[in-house]
């Protein structure tokens, strides 16, 4: 079960920030993050997590001004992601979904949600005067309508009180003029999140207190 939970979290992060590619006989799994905010997560959590699941896969890092890239040239790893776990190869923004085998129990659901939010989520404190104290929001912006609804329904199944909304964008997001938001508002949602799901990515953990 422990390994299944690790796989669920890894798949969640892949859904958010991962890429699988095949070029002739060469295969690659890649993750791209923020070099300023996510270096600790990539080096100290993500790469060791992958090593526990794929001990024969060698990590490669590239650091650029706009991105921290972790990639693997591993046929076995590619086949597990694409053939066994059913995740798409190539562009996936509008097609990726949480695999059905992870939806059989709440523990794997929590782990895959954690991975997705670690990759694409944000923690925000609304400090407008309408609120007596800073008001917490957990939010994720998704270009894939089906995935956004899937995530919304899973949070409801865990007894959270999520909000789902469509937003027309002034600037195109991933080549689209609209995006879908799944959000958790308020202290009760935040406390439940911290107790039951939490984060593995320190960039979010640092934002759990208003500042």
> pLDDT, tens digit, for every residue of 88-106?
999 998 899 999 999 999 9
179: left (phi over 0), alpha (psi -120 to 50) or beta: beta
Where do the structural domains in the chain lie, given as residue ranges?
2-93, 106-205
174: left (phi over 0), alpha (psi -120 to 50) or beta: left
Q: How many other CB atoms are there within 10 angstroms of residue 161's CB atom?
A: 12
Closest CA to 19 of 10, 31, 6: 31
> pLDDT, tens digit, for every residue of 117-166?
999 999 999 888 888 888 999 999 999 999 999 999 999 999 999 999 99
Please give the average per-residue pLDDT across 183-195, as a whole number.
Answer: 96
Structure tokens at 65: 């001004």
Closest CA to 98 of 142, 38, 61, 58: 142
Please give the average per-residue pLDDT across 30-52, as a whole number.
Answer: 96
CATH tag for 2-93 (out of 3.10.28.10, 3.40.50.1100, 3.40.50.10490, 3.30.10.20): 3.10.28.10
The partner residues of 142 in beta bridges, in order of sequence, read 180
Please name the residues in contact with 92: beta carbons below 8 A apart, sequence gap of 6 or more: 15, 19, 20
Structure tokens at 201: 């990515």
Query: In the chain, pLDDT over 70 holds for what percent of residues?
Result: 95
- Which CATH homologous superfamily contains domain 106-205? Homing endonucleases (3.10.28.10)
- Does residue 84 register a pLDDT over 70? yes
Residues 165 and 180: beta-carbon distance below 8 Å: yes
Q: How far is CA 14 from the centre of its chain?
A: 7
**Topology alike, domains 2-93 and 106-205:** yes
Higher pLDDT: 21 or 129? It is 21
């Amino acid at each position: 079960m422990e390994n299944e939970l690790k796989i669920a979290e890894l798949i969640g992060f892949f859904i958010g920030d991962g890429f699988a590619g095949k070029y002739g006989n060469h295969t690659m799994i890649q993750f791209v993050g923020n070099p300023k905010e996510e270096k600790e997560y990539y080096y100290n959590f993500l790469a060791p997590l992958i090593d526990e699941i794929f001990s024969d896969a060698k990590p490669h890092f590239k650091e650029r001004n706009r991105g921290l890239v972790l990639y693997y040239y591993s046929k076995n790893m590619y086949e597990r992601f694409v053939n066994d776990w059913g995740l798409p190869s190539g562009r996936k923004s509008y097609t990726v979904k949480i695999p059905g085998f992870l939806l059989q129990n709440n523990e794997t659901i929590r782990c895959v949600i954690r991975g997705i939010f670690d990759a694409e989520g944000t923690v925000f404190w609304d400090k407008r005067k309408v609120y007596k104290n800073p008001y917490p929001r957990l939010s994720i912006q998704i270009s894939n309508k089906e995935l956004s609804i899937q995530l919304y329904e899973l949070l409801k199944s865990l007894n959270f009180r999520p909000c789902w909304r469509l937003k027309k964008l002034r600037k195109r997001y991933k080549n689209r003029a609209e995006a879908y938001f799944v959000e958790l508002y308020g202290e009760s949602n935040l406390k439940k999140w911290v107790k039951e799901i939490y984060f593995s990515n320190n960039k979010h953990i640092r934002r759990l207190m208003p500042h």
